[in-house]
């Protein structure tokens, strides 16, 4: 039996796709900024998985964080509906 919920189950529970870009410095090259992209289904506005990953980074990885920028998008949302009465083909 699988313990991890599927992506659809997560979205139905209110999760959305969070994408974060981490800017960090290598321990040996402090003047160079590197970036790392992270994606996970997370709950807005608290983002517990994102902040858990940031804590993991700060506790485990030697490259100090410079900054983090992220976006969050719910993938299941009400769609637009239009009443189409006629349709015609051109050519």
pLDDT along the chain (91 residues), means of 10: 77 88 92 94 93 96 93 71 64 60
> Would 37 be classed as within a structural domain?
yes
Please give the Cα distance from 31 to 46 (Å, whole number).
32
Q: Which domain holds residue 49?
A: 21-73
Q: What is the pLDDT of residue 10?
A: 85
The torsion region of residue 52 among left (phi > 0), alpha (psi -120 to 50) and beta comes to alpha
In a domain, 6, yes or no: no
Q: Work out how many domains the chain is built from and give that number.
A: 1
Does residue 81 lie within any of the structural domains? no
Q: pTM for the whole thing?
A: 0.74
50 falls within a domain: yes
* Rounded Cα–Cα distance for residues 10 and 61 (Å): 29
Does residue 42 sit within a domain? yes
């Amino acid at each position: 039996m699988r313990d991890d919920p599927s992506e659809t189950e997560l979205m139905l529970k209110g999760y959305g796709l969070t994408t974060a870009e981490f800017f960090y410095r290598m321990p040996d090259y402090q003047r160079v900024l590197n970036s790392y992209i992270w994606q996970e289904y997370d709950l807005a506005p608290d983002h517990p998985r994102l902040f858990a990953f940031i804590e993991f980074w700060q506790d485990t990885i030697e490259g100090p964080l410079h900054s983090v920028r992220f976006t969050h998008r719910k993938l299941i949302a009400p769609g637009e509906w239009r009443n189409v009465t006629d349709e015609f083909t051109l050519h």
